[in-house]
Amino acid sequence: MKNTDRPWRSFYAPGVRAEIDTPAYRNLPDFIHSVAETFKDSKAFTCCLPNGMNGTATYGQIDEMSDAFAVYLREVAGLSVGDRVAVQMPNCLSFPVVAFGVFKAGCILVNVNPLYTAEEMAKQFEDAEPHALVIVDMFADKIPAATQGHPIPNVIVTRVAEFLPSMPRGIVGLVQKYWDKSVKPIELAHIRLPDTLAAGRTHKARNNIEVRSYHQGVATDDVAVLQYTGGTTGVAKGAMLTHGNLLFNTEQAMELLGSDLEKGKEVILTALPLYHIFAFTVNMMAFFKLGAHNILIPNPRPLSNLKRAFENYKITWMSGVNTLFNGLCNEIWFLDSPPKHMKFAGAGGMALQSSVAERWREITGTEVLQGYGLTETSPVLTFEPPGKAREGTIGIPVPSTDVACFDDAGKQLALGETGEIAARGPQIMKGYWKKTDETANVMIDDWFLTGDIGFMDPDGYFRIVDRKKDMVVVSGFNVYPNEIEDVLAAHPAVIEAAVIGVPDGATGEAVKAYIVTADTALNQAAIRAYCKEHLTGYKVPKRVEFRDELPKSNVGKILRKDLRAEALAQTAAE
């Protein structure tokens, strides 16, 4: 594309680089060590529990502990460059220690959702073939079933309260063991994370080991992370994200947002799980580079778990999904005392509804800046520049990124035409792990096909119409659930809404809405009448079902696929 095809660059703030030629570091370990040296004595991560108990590690401590873990992996566990290490834990101080240690060992990190069933774990382990697993103790009882047929030789167990002071760590341990019984006996050979660090330190000192020797040959194009997709379009696939992908995307995000952020002074709330690519790259990596103090929330559900974090820390930035912002706007404690130091928030993962953005602005006096990206893109492709948010858009492409729309034949469309959004840039994955055919299906030359339908405004802002696979066809008319959900969310009695297409004998498909409300008087007729005021006839939900809650992913994204599967099963039964 020519420069004239990139109108979004006119919205870059003065000093923002339109092109980032090379990342500042050769690989992630070099990046981690350099930043840790710069902010050595500053607070890096604090794990904040719902009752306010907490523990903190400085940049220097994270650097030293991750060094020790890297030595353990190489010298004791016997791993080599390129070996995979599965990491399965919620947000806690162990996460950056382990993740950074894996990188320093020259190994590949495999992020695993800790809430996975043993069956789901088994599928990912079978595909990734990890040589080691680091897992939180609450879920370690699933390991025997998950590794049957493909054992993992090194199992390392950690705790949510790991590295917290002894008193809160002990209290949490007692509660988990005797009160809620969330930790069961671990009936397999394993080692505790603190013991791995002790062993690593001993080997490092005894043999005068230079940790940098482990990764001195690791190049920008080498794979750093296997990040598995949610599997919503089929079997989950491991996106191979390289050191360069993540380093570039870290710089791209900070380049667009950095003018409003201060080095060493930001306090970021991380409620989204770090094993999710958005929080991994933006919250953990990009804000690490900034020298920020990162407040980790192990479990944001219920939302009252965030209350003490907001009370005890001067939060200046947070990331989330639409449901998180919507939920906070309905929490009495949040309404009574909204954050006073917040600069802005970042939204991703699902469409940010206009009514939610407006209410957040009214309550906090700050904007929610919407971004867009995918697992395969490390993830950030677009973001709304601070002070230039535009309702209904996903912002503008970050530096060194081209975004365009393609038709079904793979032809690039003209400005303003609706089609499948495609992107190219240094943050695009290397491919899917062991799936060359799947990789070929999502690439046109160097363009990655996102599977999302959208278009570009004349001045360069992009808009998502909907997910290609979620589109509903009613009597030949294309209906996009996002549009209807946005209307429903604006209804004063609607807390949450989800829309899917269901089989219909008369129209092929019909629109069905699922509603969560606290108003027992609200009924289908009222919802349909409301929608008729805002939508053309064929877009109005033909069926409405009220629910106490909607199915959500681990990051709070409403799972239309689960509702669709349920509806199809019900139709088949009928």
Note whether residue 548 is domain-resident.
yes
275 closest CA partner among 44, 153, 77, 92: 92
pLDDT beyond 80 at 192: yes
Give the pair of three-digit tokens for residue 403.
């975004």
pLDDT beyond 90 at 328: yes
Note whether residue 197 is domain-resident.
no
Give 226-249 as a DSSP string.
Answer: EEE---TTSS--EEEEEHHHHHHH
Note whether residue 507 is domain-resident.
yes
In this prediction, residues 545-549 reach a mean pLDDT of 96
Helix, strand, coil in percent for the chain, rounding step 5: 35, 25, 40
pLDDT for res 258: 72
Q: What is the mean pLDDT of the chain?
A: 92
In this prediction, residues 100-116 reach a mean pLDDT of 95
Determine contact, residues 375/465, Cβ cutoff 8 Å.
no
Note whether residue 487 is domain-resident.
yes
pLDDT for res 173: 77
pLDDT for res 279: 95
Q: Give per-residue pLDDT as tens, 237-247.
A: 999 999 999 99
pLDDT beyond 60 at 397: yes
Number of other CB atoms surrounding residue 448 within 10 Å: 21
pLDDT for res 230: 56
**Can you name the residues that pair with 136 across neighbouring β-strands?**
158
pLDDT beyond 80 at 283: yes
pLDDT beyond 60 at 129: yes
Task: Count Cβ atoms within 10 A of the Cβ of residue 2 and give its class: 0-12 exposed, 13-18 middle, 19 or more buried.
Answer: exposed
pLDDT for res 1: 47
Q: Which one is predicted more confidently, 406 or 534?
A: 406
Note whether residue 486 is domain-resident.
yes
Which of the listed ranges 74-83, 249-258, 459-468 does the model predict with the highest average pLDDT?
A: 74-83
Of 279-288, 474-483, 538-547, minimum mean pLDDT range: 474-483
pLDDT beyond 90 at 120: no
CA distance 48 to 295: 7
pLDDT for res 494: 96
Record the pTM.
0.87
pLDDT beyond 70 at 235: no
Note whether residue 424 is domain-resident.
no
Note whether residue 151 is domain-resident.
no
Note whether residue 269 is domain-resident.
no
pLDDT for res 476: 66
> What is the CATH classification number for the domain harbouring 514?
3.30.300.30
Q: Give per-residue pLDDT as tens, 469-525.
A: 788 888 767 788 888 998 999 999 999 999 999 988 778 789 999 999 999 999 999
| The residue type at 397 | P
Task: Count Cβ atoms within 10 A of the Cβ of residue 549 and give its class: 0-12 exposed, 13-18 middle, 19 or more buried.
Answer: exposed
CA distance 423 to 377: 9
535 closest CA partner among 494, 477, 492, 493: 477
pLDDT for res 442: 94
pLDDT for res 465: 87
pLDDT beyond 80 at 468: no
Q: Which domain holds residue 478?
A: 471-573
Helix (H) or strand (E) holding 338: none
Total domains in the fold of the chain: 1
**What is the pLDDT confidence band of residue 377, given thresholds at 50, 70 and 90?**
very high
CA quadruple 155, 46, 557, 11: dihedral sign = negative
